[in-house]
A = this chain, B = another copy of it.
């Protein structure tokens, strides 16, 4: 394989993205800079990335035929979500396509039980866990860790979907009885949630971004702050752990590692994502190279960009569809009046609770940039943030 993935002289490289949501949309904006042709798999032409002008194939990620049409002639195939059958990834790779990340690495983001085992086998810190094939498995874990126990769907969950705190045996029984495959975890006393973001090329070069603190509400990431405010050494430990993991599983492209910092200062890996990630949106204005640029550079096996902060403090606040169903688009001018507010709207129809955009502010003082980003998000949402 050549060092550069593109072998057609004088033509722009083509990257296929399975998915056409906001991650693909922001990747398209980066693709314009680098003159990369992005081709996304969309359910319909109004999807976020397609409406931003990315070339699109209409199709379904569960259809191997649709995936083949998407990937034909592309220099790399990447993803903006996890909902692709693993056997299809294998089939595409067997057909000679360059999957970035490859099926084995991607599985760590698709199957939470598999991820737990990989992390444990690498000696990386995870909450105590067990496969929850039966209620007996959950009770055995609870006997060691106490109730409540966290039950997680092995596949398909995001933004809190597929995660249940089971207070007791009866509740755990109801969850397992609802069907699907589950993983049980000890409930961990969390001081803070962190995100360690890395980019890695197939040829092995990897770079890590400064560690961010993420703030969740109703199990959805709502704010991202740098500096993280984590305890001594935690930022560096998170970064080193993410780099070690990326190499161990042969991750390519962006990988986000979400971690818990416990009250005792211990780090435990919570979730993995092998794609650009909400917790990395701050990099668009807050880092020399955005996660979307580095994702493209990584999947094309191009040299990776500098990940330094451009200012001492950066805050990103998500814009979520307000309860009254109104559309933040109608209030963009108000939000832009907040000095330094960088507004991103994803072109999605407004629905209560749906992620519709984000605001980033970079500056000198953490409190000030956070307040400004929150203020702009509140103006967009037309309601106060919790």
Contacts and interface: CB of A to CB of B under 8 A. Distances in A.
A377 B168 CA distance: 64
B35 A329 contact: yes
Give the contact-size bracket for chain A: 35 or more
Interface in A291-311: 297, 300-303, 305-306, 310-311
B306 A339 contact: yes
Interface stretch (A4-12, A58-66, A218-226): A4-12
Name the residue among A10, A337, A339, A340 with the largest chain B CB count within 10 angstroms. A10
A125 B208 CA distance: 51
A333 B32 contact: no
A33 interface: yes
Nearest to A3: B333
Contacts of A35: 329, 332, 345-347, 357
Nearest to A297: B336
Interface stretch (A47-55, A111-119, A265-273): A47-55
Interface in A1-33: 3-4, 9-12, 25-26, 28-29, 32-33
Contacts of A347: 12, 35
Contacts of A339: 306
B345 A34 contact: yes
B336 A305 contact: yes
Given A303-B336, A327-B9, A33 B3 contact: no
Nearest to A4: B333
A343 interface: yes
A288 B342 CA distance: 9
A38 to B, nearest CB: 8
Q: Copies of this chain, how many?
A: 2
Contacts of A350: 10
A369 B59 CA distance: 45
A28 B332 CA distance: 18
Contacts of A55: 53
Name the residue among A29, A34, A35, A55 with the largest chain B CB count within 10 angstroms. A35
Interface string A279-290: 000000100110
Contacts of A357: 35
A330 interface: yes
A297 B301 CA distance: 36
Contacts of A310: 310-311, 362
A329 B53 contact: no
A342 B284 CA distance: 13
- The 9 closest A-B CB pairs, nearest first, are A53-B53, A35-B345, A303-B337, A10-B327, A303-B336, A32-B52, A302-B333, A4-B333, A29-B32
Interface of A: 3-4, 9-12, 25-26, 28-29, 32-35, 52-55, 285, 288-289, 297, 300-303, 305-306, 310-311, 327, 329-330, 332-333, 336-337, 339-340, 342-347, 350, 357, 362
13 contacts: A9-B327, A10-B350, A26-B32, A33-B345, A34-B343, A34-B344, A35-B347, A35-B357, A285-B288, A302-B332, A305-B340, A310-B310, A310-B362
